Amino acid sequence: MPGPMTIGVDVGGTKVAAGLVDSKGEIVRKVRVPMVATADAETGFSAVRNAVTELVGDAMPREVRGIGICSPGPLDPRTGVVLNPPNVPCWRDFPLGAETERAFRVPTRIDNDANAAGLAETLWGAGVGYSNVFYATLGTGIGTGIVFDNKIYWGRTGSAAEGGHNTIDYNGPRCGCGKRGCIEILCSGPAIARRARARIVESHLPTKMLEMAGGMADRVKAEHVGEAFNAGDALAREVLEETADLLAIWLGNVVDMLEPEIMIVGGGVAQLMSSFFGRMKKTIPEWSINPRAHEIPLVLAKYTADAGIAGAAALCR
C-alpha cells in the first residue's frame, strides 16, 4: 500500500498541470489539461476539476491527504480566495480553496507559485536540512519565496516575498510593475535579452548571438545568449557576467535583510547562470555587510519544470 500522498495542482493561463506526490516529494504521476481562463469562473474551475479527476479517477484515493494549488496571484492564502489575477481573468474574488474542498472533500490550500516552490525546495529539494530559506525563480519574470521555520512567510495579507520587484537602481529602466531598476527588469530572461541586444548594437563587435538570431539583433533571446556563451562568445560572457553581478547585488540586500540559511534559485535563467554561481558567491559578500555572508550556500533548485506541481503539493504537508 502506498504511503500518504498529496495532489499538487499548478494553474496557468492556458493549462492546468496536476501531480500525485508522495511524502518524499517524488511526483508519482502527472497529467495536464487545457484551461480556458477568459470565460466564466466555473469554466475556469472545471479545468482544475478535470485535472484532478484525470489524475486519480472519480473516487479520491484514501491515501490522498489534501490538494494544494498554485494559482496566479494576487490571492489570499489564508482564505483560499483568488483575488484578480491578470492572467486568469475569469477568477475575481473566487474561493478556489473552498470550491476545491467542496468538489473533492479533502483539505485544500492555495498559494502563489514562488512561495509554494520555495516550500517544496525546503521540504524535499535543495533546502533539506534548512528551515530558513530564500528561494527565487528566475525566468520570464522573477518570483521569490521566503520560508521561516519551515513555513511560508506571508506577511500582512499574503503578499510578502515579492522580492523580484525590489529595486537596486532607482534610476534604472522602468519595469511593467511601475518601478525602475527592480531585479526583474534587469535580470529576467527578457531583460537579459534586452541588455544583450543593446550591447550588440552599441559595441559593433562580432558575436555568435547575432548568428543564432538569424543576423537580426532585435531577435536575440536569452537562450541565444546562453548558447553563444557555451560556444565561447566573449560578448555573451560579458552580458552574463553583468547579470551575475546584478543578481549578486540583489542577493546581498537579501542577506543583509533576511540572513537566510540558504539561497536557492530555480527557473530557466538560474540554469543559464549556473556557470556563474562561483562569481556570484564571490560578489555577494561584497554587497553585504554580513561578515559571514560567504557561508550562506547559493544553490540550484532541485525542481525544474515540475516546481509548480511539487510546490502545490508541499502546501498540504
Give the contact letters, 267-296, x = binds to its own copies (CB under 8 A), - = no: -------------------xxxxxxx---x
Minimum separation from the CB atom of position 261 to its own copies (A): 5
Check: CB of residue 14 under 8 Å from CB of residue 37.
yes
Stretch that binds its own copies, among 118-126, 209-217, 236-244, 253-261 (CB under 8 A): 253-261
Distance (Å, rounded) from C-alpha 87 to C-alpha 77? 18
Distance (Å, rounded) from C-alpha 116 to C-alpha 78? 14
Check: CB of residue 303 under 8 Å from CB of residue 310.
yes
Binding to its own copies, residues 233-252 (CB under 8 A): 246, 249, 252
165 touches its own copies (CB under 8 A): yes
98 touches its own copies (CB under 8 A): no
Cell of 221: 533571446
Instruction: Between 104 and 287, name the residue whose CB sits nearer to its own copies.
Output: 287
Minimum separation from the CB atom of position 128 to its own copies (A): 16
Distance (Å, rounded) from C-alpha 251 to C-alpha 246? 9
Stretch that binds its own copies, among 17-25, 62-70, 144-152, 308-316 (CB under 8 A): 144-152
Check: CB of residue 72 under 8 Å from CB of residue 11.
yes
Sheet holding 27-34, edge to edge: 27-34, 15-22, 5-11, 64-70, 108-111
Phi and psi, residue 138, nearest 5°: -110, 115
Binding to its own copies, residues 108-137 (CB under 8 A): 132
Give the contact letters, 296-315, x = binds to its own copies (CB under 8 A), - = no: x-------------------
Long-range contacts of 176-183 (CB under 8 A, 24+ apart): 183/142, 183/246, 183/247, 183/250
Q: Which of 112, 115, 122, 167 binds its own copies (CB under 8 A)?
A: 167
Give the contact letters, 56-85, x = binds to its own copies (CB under 8 A), - = no: ------------------x-----------
Length of the chain (residues): 317
Give the binding site for its own copies (CB under 8 A). 74, 132, 144, 146, 148, 153-157, 159-163, 165-171, 177-179, 246, 249, 252-253, 256-261, 286-292, 296
